[in-house]
Amino acid sequence: MPSPEGEARESLLRVQPDTLGRANDREKNEASPGSKAREAKHERDTLTNTEIQKVMACLKAAVRELPDPSVTLVGKRWKSPYLVLVSCLLSLRTKDETTLPAAGRLFALAQTPVDMLKLSFRDIERAIYPVGFYRTKARRILDISRVLIKEYQGKVPDTMEALLGLKGVGRKTANLVLVEGFGKPGICVDTHVHRITNRFGYVRTRTPEQTEMALRAKLPPLLWKDINWVLVLWGQNVCRPVSPKCSACPVSARCGKVGVGTRR
Ligand code: SF4
């Protein structure tokens, strides 16, 4: 008997592809030789802002039955920027199915910097195991809690600059804390957002940092808060790093599939 999550994932594969049209014309043109064809392809591979809004609306509808990514869920369930920050740290290089139970075990012991500092390093380590780099993360959670109490009256700061000043907090985490912890604008670019926006042809970048800057310059602000959780779910389930399921993708007609080799 498939789980509800499994059924939701399967239902993604039943979404009709090419619902945004233009697929057949594009594929015919791809066969044209010479620079004109290359130029035409480049033009086709670049999504306009109207198109990216349609693409995102389509993907948002396609993932609506799936469980939220772990940090989004923590933001909705606990409504605490501190717990969002801690769950971000736990999620680094760790799958959601490991992050969420670990966060739940830790939050059962402490939900504020003051209570966290009442725990020993061993207590935290035991609670969050087996997240990746659990020892380093346990130490970091204690260090950050100490700084928050000393410099920010026990609260998480709500600016990018101050968040980046916390040891172990990079742009990805800072953006996610702003969006999921404070409901402020931010664009969290992880591996999924970087890969998929490049595959769309919406950006042409080499690193997640470049992608964030490119998206900040052109992505309509209305899409900022959704782009991470929608593309994380899409990347985990359909637009996977290797062999994405393009034949089952409802935005296949509008996607440039830039750099996609083998696909299903
Ligand atoms: S690369 Fe394939 S699966 Fe990914 S968004 Fe484009 S069409 Fe969809």
Give the pTM. 0.82
Which residue ranges of the chain lie beneath pLDDT 70? 1-45
Predicted local confidence at residue 44, as pLDDT: 55
- List the catalytic residue out of 96, 190, 225, 257: 190
Predicted local confidence at residue 42, as pLDDT: 53
- Ligand 1 atom nearest the C-alpha of 238 is 3
Predicted local confidence at residue 46, as pLDDT: 75
Predicted local confidence at residue 26, as pLDDT: 43
Predicted local confidence at residue 255, as pLDDT: 94
Q: Which CATH architecture has domain 70-182?
A: Orthogonal Bundle (1.10)
**Exposure string over 12-26, b if 16+ CB within 10 A, otherwise e:** beebeeebbeeeeeb
Predicted local confidence at residue 28, as pLDDT: 41
Q: With beta carbons less than 8 A apart as the criterion, state whether 208 and 247 touch.
A: no
Q: With beta carbons less than 8 A apart as the criterion, state whether 250 and 62 touch.
A: yes
- List the catalytic residue out of 172, 218, 226, 245: 172
Instruction: Considering the chain, tell me which residue range(s) the CATH 1.10.340.30 domain(s) occupy.
Output: 70-182
Instruction: Considering the chain, tell me which residue range(s) the CATH 1.10.1670 domain(s) occupy.
Output: 4-67+188-248
Answer whether CATH 1.10.1670 is correct for domain 4-67+188-248.
yes
Residue 19 CA, ligand 1 centroid: distance in Å: 13
Query: The tokens of 116 are what?
Result: 């966290």
